[in-house]
Structure 1
Amino acid sequence: MGAVKNQPGLSAPDRLSARYGGVPVIYVESEEDNYVFGECWFKDHLSRVEFRPASQQCNFSGCSAVIEAVAEERKAGNSAWGVVDRDTVMSKDMWHLVHETDDAAYQNSQPFGSEVKALCRWEMENYLADGEAMEKCRAEIEMEPPRPMQDVYDELLNHCQVLIPHAAINAVCHQHRIEGLSDGYTNRRFSTRAESEACVQQDKFPRLPSSAAADYAMHVSRVDAFDLPGESSTTRVTALLRRVHGKALLDRFSAAHRIKDNLKGRLANHVREMARVPSEIALFVDQIAASN
């Protein structure tokens, strides 16, 4: 029980139940993730499972903190699990998983062990990028009737297409260890993918080696491989959410509609109210809760 014994103020015999309430703990990357999972989507599970930001265990946050927190707790004999974004596999240079378009193969790979779930979508925000919830938020804020879902997903598909060069160049930047583009880089600047493509190359290529042009072309084709041309806009957006950056998508949507509110909390609650919590995450949490 070393990891628990080292916690100040937790030297009493019942320290484990005092800290965890006797239920398994699921570590997440940030306070925002903790709010989405623990306060919104799975608040009715809290008698059987507890969510915690990994920073409470490791004094730093993010994917590495989750992996470390789970490892430390399990080594100490505690029941601990974790959830990390898909971008974690890029941070660890697991490029075969960054590019994996077969969801079953990706999930079966379990790159960080069976106790740490690596999400199929790029970031937690990609699960908040739910067309019905986004349109409900927009309509409420703008005090307008909601648009048809076809129109909403056509718009989201255009945003995703603009963000393909953004995702590709950020992969190149990570590969060459230079700072990538911000999530808000494409906001209200580009209406088409071609405009986005021209600018990301212009802004980043001068700071990269000559080989970066070939790297970029490869990464564009890899991101494009997640798309499903010929399918509906809804299907294509869902497919691309595995690879484009969700924070950037939410930023573009907010900028396009001049929404100044932080949409994440609203979206998390609407997703739950509309019974649209992603089954991928719900299954993982339900299995942990049922094992207690």
Structure 2
Amino acid sequence: PAKGDEEPRTGLRVGFVGAGRMAEAIAQGLIRAGKVEAKQVLASAPTDRNLCHFRALGCQTTHSNQEVLQSCSLVIFATKPQVLPAVLKEVAPVVTAEHVLVSVAAGVSLSTLEELLPLNTRVLRVSPNLPCIVQEGAMVMARGHHAGSEEAKLLQNLLEACGQCEEVPEAYVDIHTGLSGSGVAFVCTFSEALAEGAIKMGMPSALAHRIAAQTLLGTAKLLQQEGQHPAQLRTDVLTPAGTTIYGLHALEQGGLRAATMSAVEAATCRAKELSRK
């Protein structure tokens, strides 16, 4: 019998095929939030290089991708996109109607996933971002033809351990990559520039970077908790002839808005291009 068959189902068993940073981040979030027990998680990878991180969390590990599917009904594929088709072909013989399969590989469409798996397999696609590592991810998920609202709810509930997760049409996934996947780098660039402005004015570097990061964090929390449009919050900080309007004028002169919109557009177009390949 497969590994999961001899023990009573005390809870959900979650499998990971691929054990890189994103897989580890998701596993860590699920375990920390008490969504699954560490011993109910089984991860596979070709070498021990990344599996040691899973063992440190208390998870089971293996070098066999098929074993993961034989032991777990919910399996998250977190391999590199170019490796995924070969991995799916390899596990296809052990996929059953019980399985719910989730891909976090960028640029691999639901139709490609469904083509490589047995007919009627329940497949969902998730686009995560790096802050999943600190349980503050912004994720979107899209479901294939055979995944119903029950599977979507189950996955959404699990992934909320790693941040915010919203169900969207698949067409939004590439936009999410441009906005939130690449957006992490855009926000880092802005944070760095904010700090450098303070350094230019005489503040020590380490202090300036700490304050810039905290300013981003605090502003994001305000936007989320107040549920306000950013323009409203921005107006609240503005006083006539005050410091902020002088700074905002300089940002407008530098074309910050147009540059940011172009950055999201460029990253989205590139994501679409990679998806087509």
Q: Would the TM-score normalized by the shorter structure come out above 0.5?
A: no
Q: TM-score, normalised by structure 1?
A: 0.33
Q: TM-score, normalised by structure 2?
A: 0.34
Greater fraction strand: 2
Q: Which has the higher contact order (CA 8 A, sep 6+)?
A: 1
Larger Rg computed on CA atoms: 2
